[in-house]
């Protein structure tokens, strides 16, 4: 007669719980922190509200993952690694939140002028708002007419 233990289907490696689940979560959190660390300052350079929002979300997801790994209890070496990732995630979240705030303020200040220019079809109002020469391109202002002020001679 077969016992219940002998009557079980064969076990595969995918059926058994993974011992390195914490390490996998920490590697994923490290990737998210890297994305957030790059997205925050880059969004300040190019003025992207969406990019800084993605950075905030990635940093918060990394923070949640590291807290979960620390709460599960991991090996002491991984706990140190997790705390470093958590510290980086907090810093990245702060930088990305600051970038998001600054980008939102910049967007809110530019938005009315952009809407007016789109509605009227007159883009020269954008040039006047930012003290750009009419025509907007490089070499289209007064400096282009006077060869003595050009850097090209």
Domain boundaries, the chain: 22-105
Q: What is the pTM of this model?
A: 0.67
Chunked in runs of 10, what are the mean pLDDT values of the chain (153 residues)?
69 58 89 96 90 96 93 83 94 96 90 84 69 54 56 58
Quickly tell me which residue has 């689940």 as its tokens: 21
Contact 56, 36 (CB under 8 A): yes
């Amino acid at each position: 007669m077969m016992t219940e233990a002998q009557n079980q289907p064969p076990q595969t490696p995918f059926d058994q719980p993974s011992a390195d689940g914490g390490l996998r979560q920490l590697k994923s959190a490290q990737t998210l922190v890297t994305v957030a660390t790059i997205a925050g300052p880059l969004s300040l350079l190019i003025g992207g509200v969406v990019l800084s929002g993605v950075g905030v979300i990635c940093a918060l997801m990394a923070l949640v993952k590291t807290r979960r790994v620390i709460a599960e209890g991991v090996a002491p070496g991984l706990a140190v690694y997790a705390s470093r990732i958590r510290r980086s995630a907090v810093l990245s979240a702060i930088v990305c939140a600051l970038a998001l705030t600054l980008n939102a303020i910049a967007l809110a200040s530019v938005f009315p002028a952009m809407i007016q220019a789109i509605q009227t079809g007159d883009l020269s109002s954008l040039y006047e708002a930012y003290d750009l020469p009419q025509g907007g391109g490089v070499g289209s202002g007064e400096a282009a007419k006077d060869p003595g002020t050009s850097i090209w001679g």
